[in-house]
Amino acid sequence: MTVSNMAKIALLSLGMAVAGCTNNPSDQVVLTAVKDIADGRNPPAQPSEAELQQQLRQAMASTDGPLGLVRFEKPGTVAIIRVVETNGPYRTWGSWGLSERRSLTTRNGFVTATRGLGRDLMSSDIARSLALVSARREGQATRTQRYLDGDNQTYAVTATCTITNGGAAGGKLTLMRERCVADGREFTNTYKVTDSGVITESSQWLGAYFGKTMLQRLR
């Protein structure tokens, strides 16, 4: 049996187990996201069954606050995450069940930094892109992302981006696209945005080391 199939079975079992012990409507949002992964709509690369079970149990029992789901295309990890620190408009998210602390920082759904994941994204300048996406407006933007390389040196990648409105994305959500060019590479980020400008789900390119990162707000 492949790792991918084992992961799907583990997640399905996890979803059914939790479904049998909760009647909380907010918990059902978490279950839906987990089942989406298991059904292959957002397939995880190499999740750990025990880790996901532990994270979900602790998330349900420990907090009524914001929860999210993150999947890194590279290095191939998926985790349920919670807010561990807030600094103005920035939220730092951490996960349960890991031997060392790993985190990512967001500003209204835009990933601005990571820690403990290797060759981290140290900081980002995304103000113009964030303003356009949150307002569901089209336009041009420049973003800069600073990374840590294998020699612990920081280098910057600056991208020129075009923001476009992709129309309705289900419910009251609008799909926004951010098409960028940086150092000869082209990539497209997508965001689902509410009428009030809140980003609830995204797919963002964080560089060659991370690849795409899928981030979903569960509650």
Residue 51 pLDDT:
64
Give the residue-averaged pLDDT of 117-139: 94
pLDDT per position as a tens digit, 163-172:
999 999 988 9
**Domain ranges, residue 179:** 3-217
186-203: pLDDT as tens digits: 999 999 999 999 999 999
Q: Supply the pTM of this predicted model.
A: 0.76
Count of domains in the chain? Answer: 1
pLDDT more than 90, % of the chain? 44
Cα 101 to Cα 2, 98, 204: the distances in Å are: 28, 7, 22
Residue 200's pLDDT is what? 95
CA–CA distance, 107 with 91 (Å, rounded to integer): 6
pLDDT band at 11, cuts 50/70/90?
Answer: very low
CA 44 to chain centre: 13
Q: Return the pLDDT at 191.
A: 98
Are the beta carbons of 120 and 106 closer than 8 angstroms? no
C-alpha 103/C-alpha 29 separation (Å) is: 22
- For the domain that residue 69 is a member of, what is the CATH number? 2.40.360.10
90 or 8: which carries more pLDDT confidence?
Answer: 90
Rounded to an integer, what distance in angstroms lies between the CA atom of residue 74 and that of residue 56?
A: 22
Tokens matching residue 87: 């600094």
pLDDT of amino acid 106? 96
CB neighbour list of residue 48: distance below 8 Å, 6 or more residues apart: none
* Whole-number CA gyration radius for the chain: 17
* Residues of the chain above pLDDT 70, percent: 71
Report whether pLDDT(29) > 60: no
